[in-house]
Amino acid sequence: MFCVNCGAAVDGDTLVACGSCGKSNAPALTGADISRRIKEASSDAWAATRRVAIDPVAGLASSFTTLGERRAQSAGIAFGVIFALVSAIAAAIGVSKLGVDGNLKAGLGIFIVALVPFATIAALSAGARKLFGGSGSAGADVFTAGVALQPLGVLFLAATFLGSDNLEVIAVLTLFAWTYMLCILFTGSTRLVGLPERIAPPAIATMLLAAGWLTTIAAKSFFGSDTPLGRFFN
């Protein structure tokens, strides 16, 4: 095989970087490839959601095993984006109910801020895995973080539609959402990421504290303190 960039001979038929010029021999992704991967990730995320909703413990592990490393990582990213979208939609509806005019910048800001907890949990999961010798992978970190946030996304959307007249219902939904999220995080941390069970609880608490802190900082930085959204995070 010869390098497609410089023409140098490449041992075997590998598509990794050329030893002569250092450039990759892998074919560039086309628009059709990207579209196919997005559809695949969305489909995988939906299939995993159904399994986890029925059984948040066994369903998480079986979904990851069925998907495999690469597809599970893509599905985890899709989950993170879905959480951000749902959070932006819920915030937009809530703001409109308060009689405050929203705009595209605010919606984009909420979307970006909502990505912070996903990225934080995934990054700290990876850090804990490396620190304590977990047997999992980056795909397990991303998949666990993405799935764990879905109950909160459902809660945000439901609370927006229910409104302040149904605080008791929202309180019950909040209990269920946090219970599901903690079960998913513990299962993912121990079964997928490979953390020891004695390490998982403090690691999860650290993930959630850091996610909340960094999300608050991001929101204050993006919206400022003189806007309704900024005052909400203050």
Q: Identify which has the larger pLDDT, 55 or 232.
A: 55
Percent of the chain with pLDDT over 90: 44
71, burial (CB in 10 Å: exposed 0-12, middle 13-18, buried 19+):
buried
232: tokens are: 């909400």
Domain residue spans of the chain: 32-233
Q: pLDDT of 119-157, one tens digit each?
A: 999 999 999 999 999 999 999 999 999 999 999 999 999
Tokens 């059709």 belong to which residue?
32
Phi then psi dihedrals of residue 17, to 5 deg: -60, 145
pLDDT band for position 231 (50/70/90)? low
Distance CA 71, CA 103 (A): 35
Question: Is the full-model pTM beyond 0.85?
Answer: no
Q: pLDDT of 96-123, one tens digit each?
A: 766 555 556 667 888 899 999 999 999 9
User: Which pLDDT value is given to residue 17?
Assistant: 58
Q: Identify which has the larger pLDDT, 78 or 25.
A: 78
